[in-house]
Homo-oligomer: A and B are copies of this chain.
Amino acid sequence: MKKVAIALFACAVVAAAAQQVKPESQIKYRRGAYEVMNLSMSHLGAMAEEKKPFNPEEAQRYADIIAMVSTIPRENFGEGTDKDTKAKPEIWTKRAEFDRKMDKMVAEAGKLPAAARSGDMGSFKKQVSDVGSACKSCHDEFRAK
């Protein structure tokens, strides 16, 4: 019972925190985060595809940025943030599925820093590709064209 009570309390705190942020701000926040992730990923993608030379410092920096910023969008799809956006209504009607895909993306992004530091191009390329797939999987289902 205690665990359930704590879990319910934690959910209430998170919900309250989300409600404090205005819908317009939530939309700006997640868009900014996606923009940062997208352009950071394009740098990593170019290195993974050998369109530009692998630069360890640059790769680590972008990997760190993506891992950090990937945690922002999930909590910024609150109530009232479904207007004037590419976000499909299914985000709110199939929320568990959306959250699962978000968690997958955050988990894959979280592995990027280690892959960028591993010194193994195979691991690096695989991880960049896995992050890209996790992004795409969510976009395909939940983002309008």
Contacts and interface: CB of A to CB of B under 8 A. Distances in A.
A25 interface: yes
Contacts of A86: none
A72 B36 contact: yes
Interface stretch (A26-34, A87-95, A100-108, A122-130): A26-34
Identical subunits present:
2
A21 to B, nearest CB: 8
Most B Cβ at <10 Å: residue of A32, A35, A42, A68: A32
A89 B69 CA distance: 30
Contacts of A58: 17
A52 interface: yes
Interface in A7-45: 17, 20-21, 25, 28-29, 31-36, 38-39, 42
11 contacts: A21-B39, A25-B42, A29-B35, A31-B32, A31-B35, A32-B36, A32-B38, A33-B35, A36-B69, A36-B72, A65-B68
